[in-house]
């Protein structure tokens, strides 16, 4: 499967969102990653459907919404409506996860399942037949700019084995603390989709150059 960079706009300069998105697009980023937080599932608030709709108007790139919210079911139709292509939900807070994933598919979106750093890979065994993406968090969700937790590397390899056993295209995404230094180890462990926030939007080399450096490592 083609390896991709997903730019997380969480730490972008929102006073100039169009400029920030234009820069990642011209740098050659593959997807835009939207971090949705409710101040309840995670101790932070971020963006909602209004900003996502604005992003949709600013680029034709695919967009994935990472829902870090206590009631994803309520918002799945809303994020589908504002134009996201893939919606990811956490396994940790959802006793009816299969129904939630099915409702994402029913809305015409691809469905992703997310594991926090402390959640073992086998927690998602029973949903592997429905998901289009597995997201392994490499920081505790809630904030950009945190340090990569390297103890998640074996879990990435474990999830890769689970994907191979499914014998169909499922993305393996890693999110949190990813930069050019850690990326080669993630590729080696079997990941193919890399969410990058601060290392793009807070990079002293500039946004476009940051994306290009990351993309070179995927070749």
Positions annotated as catalytic residues are 35, 175
Residue 174 to residue 194: CA distance in whole angstroms: 5
Residue 170 φ/ψ, nearest 5 degrees: -130, 125
Exposure of 214 in the CB half-sphere (CA atoms within 13 A): 33
Q: Angle, nearest 10°, between helix axes 49-58 and 17-27?
A: 50
Decide if residue 175 touches Zn ion (CB under 5 A). yes
Nearest-5° Cα angle at 75, 73 to 77: 90
Q: Whole-number minimum distance, CB 167 to Zn ion, in Å?
A: 27
Select 62 or 142, whichever has its Cβ closest to ligand DX5: 142
Select 102 or 117, whichever has its Cβ closest to ligand DX5: 117
Q: Whole-number minimum distance, CB 82 to Zn ion, in Å?
A: 17
**Residue number, nearest CB to ligand DX5:** 197
- Under rule CB under 6 A, how many of the chain's residues touch ligand DX5? 21
Q: Whole-number minimum distance, CB 66 to ligand DX5, in Å?
A: 5
Residues 58-77 that bind Zn ion (CB under 5 A): 66
Tokens of 160: 């890769």
- If one counts every other C-beta atom within 10 angstroms of the C-beta of residue 219, the result is 5
List interacting residues with Zn ion (CB under 5 A): 35, 66, 175
List interacting residues with ligand DX5 (CB under 6 A): 8, 10-11, 33, 35, 66, 139, 141-142, 144-146, 175-178, 195-199
């Amino acid at each position: 499967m083609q390896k991709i960079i997903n730019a997380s706009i969480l730490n972008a300069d929102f006073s100039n969102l169009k400029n920030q998105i234009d820069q990642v697009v011209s740098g050659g980023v593959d997807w835009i990653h939207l971090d949705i937080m409710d101040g309840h599932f995670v101790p932070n608030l971020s963006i909602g459907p209004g900003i996502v709709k604005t992003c949709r108007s600013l680029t034709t790139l695919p967009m994935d919404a990472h829902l870090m919210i206590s009631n994803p079911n309520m918002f799945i139709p809303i994020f589908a409506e504002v134009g996201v292509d893939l919606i990811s939900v956490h396994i940790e807070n959802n006793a009816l996860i299969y129904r939630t994933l099915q409702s994402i598919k029913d809305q015409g979106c691809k469905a992703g399942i997310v594991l926090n750093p402390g959640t073992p890979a086998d927690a998602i065994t029973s949903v592997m037949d429905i998901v289009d993406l597995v997201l392994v968090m490499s920081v505790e969700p809630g904030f950009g700019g945190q340090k990569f937790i390297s103890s998640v590397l074996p879990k990435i390899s474990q999830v890769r084995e689970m994907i191979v056993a499914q014998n169909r295209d499922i993305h393996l995404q890693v999110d949190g603390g990813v930069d050019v230094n850690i990326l080669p180890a993630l590729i080696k462990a079997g990941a193919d989709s890399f969410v990058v926030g601060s290392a793009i939007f807070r990079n002293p080399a500039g946004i476009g150059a940051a994306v290009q450096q990351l993309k070179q490592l995927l070749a």
